[in-house]
Amino acid sequence: MEEAIPVHPGDFSYEVIGAAIEVHKALGPGLLESAYEECLCYELQLKGMAFQRQLPLPIAYKDVRLDMGYRMDIVVEGQLTVELKAAEVILPIHEAQLLTYMKLSKIRTGLLLNFCSPVLRDGIKRMKI
């Protein structure tokens, strides 16, 4: 289910959204996703937040773990999955990707951030499972 923003202080997504807005203000839309990822991680580091980037996400099937090449863009404090996009529009497949990562990782909260949105607020989806 998708929740409306703004979110409440104390929620990790609040700090991440603030950091993403800072990046978007400085860079604007139109760059590659990797540039936004690098800058967002720098902002998270400045805030003293623990995060992992490009975290491998294997699939557990029966008694085996299969490395399928899935990688979560950023996982913040082990409790928030952040999927970055630099797309003209957010499509249902982007939302499905985030939900899949959340289910596979058992992380219940996720943010989908589209940095190509002229106003970043319009490119943010917060999801919970």
Q: How far apart are CA 81 and CA 103, in angstroms?
A: 11
The predicted-structure confidence for 60-116, as pLDDT tens digits, reads as follows 889 998 888 899 999 999 999 999 999 999 999 999 999 999 999 999 999 999 999
H helix or E strand, kind and range, residue 97: helix 92-105
* pLDDT confidence of residue 60: 85
d(CA 36, CA 20): 8
Helix axes 33-46 and 12-27, enclosed angle (nearest 10): 120
Q: What is the pLDDT of residues 54-64, one digit of tens each?
A: 999 998 889 99
Residues whose CB falls within 8 Å of the CB of residue 39, separated by 6 or more in sequence, listed in order = 23, 26, 27
CA atoms within 13 A on the CB side of 84: 27
Three-state DSSP state, 117: coil
**Interatomic CA distance for residues 65 and 82, integer angstroms:** 23
For 52, half-sphere exposure in the C-beta direction (CA atoms, 13 angstrom radius) is: 12
In angstroms, the CA 1 to CA 38 distance is: 28
Mean pLDDT computed over every residue of the chain:
91
Provide the pLDDT for residue 8: 52
